[in-house]
Structure 1
Amino acid sequence: MRQNPSFAMTDVAELRRIIAANPWAMLVGRDENGMTASHYAVLLDPDREDLTIVAHVGRPDERILGLGTQELMVIFQGPHGYISPGWYGGVAAVPTWNYVAVHLSGVPELLDTEENLRVLEHLVDHFEGRLTDPRGMWVPPNDDAFVRRMEAGTIGFRLTPTRVTAKRKLSQNKPDDVIENVILELRGDGVYANAALAAEMQRAHDARLSARAAVE
């Protein structure tokens, strides 16, 4: 992803927020046959406060991704959507797409069986915990033999990124009144209404206004 300084995201807390809110990630690696993109749920490492992530892949994806032997790129896609030039008012303009994306790259550390089990349990609990009647990984009718058989079909990994590229393209290069009108359109009921993107734009816009006020 080509970086643009005016759209760069560098705040670790904000990057962690995007990763946590968008756990369905794309893993990009390669083997002797070329590049492969796989899709898995990826979580922040609960024992770390940086951008370290944990996840698993199903066999034989570890081979086609070159897992543990070379750099892996993990892509998180935040809110995104179409922006009409008509929302800019009576000025020359073209359509665009606003979006938030985080790319983490590094060589993953492969996990042993017991640590992989802990990561898998954390993954299940993370999502099941939102339900009124959650079903944990070890809850019957799952038994120890079943869980360990399922684990054996996976490879867990931890990745502490050595390269981070994150971009928040949310009309920051437009005047305040244009940004506010784009947010209004996204909050509306039109065919391109997008509440999640509107909320992300509002968050970024409020932060810029606060930063500007602090130096005035």
Structure 2
Amino acid sequence: MYKVPYFEEKDADKVLAFMQAHSFITLIGYDNVYPVATQIPVHIYKDEQGIRLVGHIMKKTDHYEAYAKNENVLALFTGAHTYISASVYENPAVASTWNYISVQAKGKIRLMDKDETRKVIENLTNSYENPSTSPAAFHKMDEEYIERNLKAISGFEILVEEINSLFKLSQNHSAVNQAKIIEHLSESNDQNAIIVAQQMKANC
């Protein structure tokens, strides 16, 4: 990860909040030959054990085989990002850049058995479908259908051991430049640019 001290977010609560808001992650492993990756939603838990990422993946895939071989994984959390033109700076005759927030969580993955996997699927489904009203709620599914699909997937749990964060929001620029960047981005038609402007405002 690109690391510069003034871009590193020191507030652990802000980092966790970003992770929770961007929980559709890229999960990266290594099969002892090549890196492998899959994009997957996770639930994020913080308790006495620390931070845990819980989700599920398909079996008979390169990433499942890699996680079975090597428990060390990297979860990548990303959000809005945008080009920052030096044309809006007080001194525009310098390099332009890119603003973004990224969090990398390293840890060890544990693949789950069928009963644990079933619970993961139930929790995930019920977090997006109202169990009381949705016709797609977990308890509305046919038991045979559930059992058949459980054979093809595996739940997982990652105990996070290290978190690195990069909140690159022009902190290395003057207050005047930051204000100019925020104004410029806020007037954009690009939703990413508008979100980054809001993040910069909150960070000032």
**Paired position in structure 2 for 1:58:** 58
1:157 — aligned with what? 156
Corresponding residue of 1:42: 42
Distance (whole Å) between structure 1 residues aligned to residue 172 and residue 135 of structure 2: 45
- 1:106 corresponds to 2:125: no
Q: Which residue of 2 aligns with 1:211?
A: none
Aligned partner letter, 1:188: E
Q: TM-score, normalised by structure 1?
A: 0.82
Q: Distance in 1 between matches of 2:92 and 2:191?
A: 20
TM-score normalized by structure 2? 0.87
Secondary structure of the residue that 1:182 maps to in structure 2? helix
Q: 1: distance between equivalents of 2:18 and 2:202?
A: 12
Equivalent-residue separation in structure 2 for 1:193 and 1:28 (angstroms): 25
Q: Structure 1 residues 185 and 12 mapped into 2: Cα distance closer, same or farther (>3 Å)?
A: same
Q: In structure 2, what is the equivalent of residue 25 of structure 1?
A: 25
- The secondary structure found in structure 1 opposite 2:82 is strand
> How far off its partner does 1:50 sit?
4.2
Aligned to 1:209: none
SS of residue matched to 1:107:
strand
Q: Offset of 1:44 from its aligned partner?
A: 0.4
Q: Answer yes or no: is the 8 Å Cα contact 1:124–1:137 preserved in 2.
A: yes
Unaligned runs of 5+ in 2: none
* 1:113 counterpart letter in structure 2: K
Distance 2:33 2:165 in 1: 28
Q: Which moved more, 1:183-192 or 1:173-182?
A: 183-192
The size of the alignment, in residue pairs, is: 201
Q: Describe the SS at the equivalent of 1:65.
A: helix
The one-character-per-residue Cα deviations of 1:43-95 (angstroms, maximum 9, x if unpaired) are: 20276784321111111235443247321111010221111111213343211
Which AA in structure 2 matches 1:100? I
Q: Please, which moves more after superposition, 7-16 or 65-74?
A: 65-74
Q: d(CA) in 1 for partners of 2:83 and 2:22? A: 19
Say whether the 8 Å CA contact 2:58–2:64 is kept in structure 1.
no
**RMSD (Å) for aligned C-alpha atoms:** 2.4
1:16-63 per-position Cα deviation (integer Å, ceiling 9, x unaligned):
211111121111111143111111112202767843211111112354
The residue type paired with residue 128 of structure 2 is F
